């Protein structure tokens, strides 16, 4: 795979092959090999519940274990040590069938102990929507996160050929296509747990 340079990213954005919208500050958000992404206003955190565990096969809705939080533009979301939260990027992205993308945390956030994705940093070809961020504070101090703040970056890579069945294809199980808000896990819909 080949990582797209800033020149190629700009060409793909201008032609509409890649969509990252809205970009507030084109010159500063386009990095040498990535696009800086901002955090949105919506967050989800786990509630403390009296259950022994989250069971992916359980019929109850995983979303019922979570609390939705909306932060105004001039406020902050405080993530405490050892806390986990879901959020979305401010930007909506659309990935073509012949590219994949990865979400990487910004170094400036990592140096505060903030990770922006736990395991789901990979974005399939064909995906369209806001990116759900899996945020953890592995540091020792609470950290304030502000809507519109650049917290991560998206890197684009070329594939050897376009995907035959990209994300969103009618034959695929694309549970998060078109998401606009932080989405709780939909693991219970996985075909291997439906048996």
Is 59 one of the annotated active-site residues of the chain?
no
Report the number of distinct structural domains present in the chain: 1
pLDDT for 136 beyond 70: yes
| Cα 101 from Cα 72, distance rounded (Å) | 29
Which has more pLDDT, 157 or 60? 157
Give the number of C-alpha atoms closer than 13 A to the C-alpha of residue 145, restricted to the C-beta side.
35
Residue 58 CA to residue 142 CA, distance in Å, equals 33
Report H helices in the chain. Answer: 6-15, 26-29, 107-110
Q: Is residue 56 part of a domain?
A: no
In this predicted model, what pLDDT tens digit does every residue of 78-134 receive, in sequence order?
999 999 999 999 999 999 999 999 999 999 999 999 998 877 688 999 999 999 999
Count of residues making up the chain: 195
What pLDDT, in 10s, does the model give residues 38-58? 999 999 998 877 778 877 777
The binding site for dCTP comprises 106-111, 124, 132-134, 153, 167, 175, 179
Q: Is residue 158 part of a domain?
A: yes
76 in any annotated domain: yes
> Would you state the pLDDT for residue 195?
63
Report if residue 189 sits inside a domain: no
pLDDT band, residue 165 (cuts 50/70/90) = confident
Q: Strands 66-70, 99-105: parallel, antiparallel or unpaired by DSSP?
A: unpaired
In a domain, 72, yes or no: yes
| Consecutive H or E run containing 155 | strand 150-158
SS3 165: coil
Taking the chain, what is the end-to-end CA distance rounded to the nearest angstrom? 35
Q: Which of 128, 123, 126 is nearest to 153 (CA)?
A: 123
Residue 150 is part of which domain span?
A: 2-51+62-181
- What rounded mean pLDDT belongs to the chain? 89
In a domain, 46, yes or no: yes
> Active site residue: 134, 157, 164, 183, which one?
134
* Annotated binding-site positions: 106-111, 124, 132-134, 153, 167, 175, 179
Residue 45 lies in a domain: yes
Tell me if 168 is assigned to some domain: yes
Question: CATH code at 103?
Answer: 2.70.40.10
């Amino acid at each position: 795979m080949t990582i797209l340079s800033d020149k190629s990213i700009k060409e793909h954005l201008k032609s509409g092959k890649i969509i990252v919208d809205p970009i507030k500050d084109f010159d500063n958000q386009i990095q040498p090999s990535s696009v800086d992404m901002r955090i949105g206003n919506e967050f989800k955190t786990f509630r403390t519940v009296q259950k022994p565990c989250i069971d992916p096969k359980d019929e109850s809705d995983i979303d019922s274990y979570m609390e939705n939080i909306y932060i105004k533009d001039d406020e902050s979301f405080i993530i405490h040590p050892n806390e986990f939260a879901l959020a979305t990027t401010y930007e909506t992205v659309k990935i073509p069938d012949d590219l994949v993308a990865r979400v990487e945390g910004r170094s400036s956030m990592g140096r505060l102990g903030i990770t922006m994705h736990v395991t789901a940093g990979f974005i399939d070809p064909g995906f369209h929507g806001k990116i759900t961020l899996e945020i953890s504070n592995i540091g020792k101090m609470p950290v304030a996160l502000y809507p519109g703040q650049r917290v991560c970056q998206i890197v684009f890579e070329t594939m050897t050929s376009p995907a035959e069945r990209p994300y969103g294809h009618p034959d695929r199980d694309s549970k998060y296509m078109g998401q606009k808000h932080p989405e709780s896990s939909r693991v219970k819909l996985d075909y291997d747990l439906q048996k």
